[in-house]
Amino acid sequence: MRIVHVANFYGPNSGGIKTTLHELGKGYQAYGHEFIYIVPGINRVEEITPYGRKITLPGVALPQSGGYRIIRNNCDLKALLEKLKPDRLEVSDRFTLTSLGKWAKENQIPSVVFSHETLRGLVDRFLPGLPNFLKKKIVNWHNTRLAESFDHVVATTNFASKEFHDIGAENLVRVSLGVDLQTFHPDLRSEELRQEMLKGSRVLLVHCGRMSREKEPQRSIDALEILLKRGISARLVYVGTGPMWHKLRKRAEGMPVDFLGYIADRHRVAKILASSDISMAPGPLETFCLAALESLASGTPVVASSSSAVGEFLLHSQNHPAGAIASDQRFAFAHSIQHLLKRPRLRVTAREVAESLPWDATVRNMLMLHDALEPQMDLPPLEVRKSLKVA
């Protein structure tokens, strides 16, 4: 089977989308399928990668996005798809690639779209002055159009699924993302690296992710400031980059904060995560957050926003969660950090949670959705219906 995945917001410094594409590509090929992924760039380039055949199309750079691009011409994209003749089409961009669903139906190609964002959260975040009834109307209209355009909408968490449940979308399927359990492992914890990053402090916090407004990265600094005032000797390390880079550096002046920038070497990132005490995930709109799951796989507990989906795989409602959630203000994050520092055996719990979410399970679920794999005994059945009802 030839599976083609089209994704925007993929680039040299991108995180979750790129990781997802690469892991799906490796997995599909391991099961004997052909994988082609089409992404935006500067020029048209075609290359063979370990993840599949990569085709880069000219893209438009988005202002103040930190380098993200979207494919410039969807007509050229559809012409390319006609030549590729995919057996299945996957799409990662609910905003500019919706028309690919209609194209797929016209060509009788089964299609899925990944809903990587919460539109409801984005509307609340960036259009705060809009009346609530109008916000709801916009979100429901867009989500209905999206669900009608594709055969299936894939959401990675219950949090991401909710706004589609609210419109009665019955072609919704929940498929969790996974984590590379070999690359990210507690055994990578290095006391030498830990002391090097601590620079004399006692508690090491790490924030791994994109520095953009909707992810609220400044909350990690805010929480650190409160911990320092409470007499806790902590240092914060940022891994990543983004449009808020300079603003965050200015905010952190005079504080024990280091900015390591984007690190392409995933093994280096894994070693940093494993050598830290707590990983910060303050983004309130996260529909999954791979960095948080990679932290758990590294044995590092996570403090996450209670407004996001991260609490679902932290198992925060159970007796022994792999981290903590905090309301979206700095005192709550500081309190949660202090609470986790008092918990024994938390690193073991974090790893155990991650082990329940391997990438292979994600790949097999997607192949079942594509009718390319028989239902698996060790996976819950996918509940997928073909009709769409609008409430």
Query: What is the tens place of the pLDDT at every residue in 293-330?
Result: 999 999 999 999 999 999 999 987 777 899 999 999 98
Q: Tell me the chain's radius of gyration from C-alpha atoms.
A: 21
Instruction: Identify the three-state secondary structure at position 384.
Output: coil
Mean pLDDT of all residues in 226-243: 96
Between CA 151 and CA 390 the distance in angstroms is 15
281, 289 Cβ separation under 8 angstroms? yes
Domain ranges of the chain: 2-178+358-369, 186-355
Which tens digit of pLDDT belongs to each residue from 239-274?
999 999 999 999 999 999 999 999 999 999 999 999
Per-residue confidence band for 388, with pLDDT thresholds at 50, 70 and 90: very low
Which tens digit of pLDDT belongs to each residue from 63-108?
876 678 999 999 999 999 999 999 999 999 989 999 999 999 999 9
Per-residue confidence band for 376, with pLDDT thresholds at 50, 70 and 90: low
How many C-beta neighbours within 10 Å does residue 175 have? 21
pTM above 0.95, yes or no: no
Instruction: Provide the pLDDT for residue 251.
Output: 97
Reply yes or no on whether the pLDDT at 386 is more than 50.
no
Using the Cα atoms of residue 310, residue 13, residue 63 and residue 213 in order, give the sign of their dihedral: positive
CATH architecture of 186-355: 3-Layer(aba) Sandwich (3.40)
Instruction: Provide the pLDDT for residue 387.
Output: 34
Q: Quick check: do 2-178+358-369 and 186-355 share a fold?
A: yes
Between CA 357 and CA 16 the distance in angstroms is 15
Which superfamily, per CATH, for 2-178+358-369?
A: Glycogen Phosphorylase B; (3.40.50.2000)
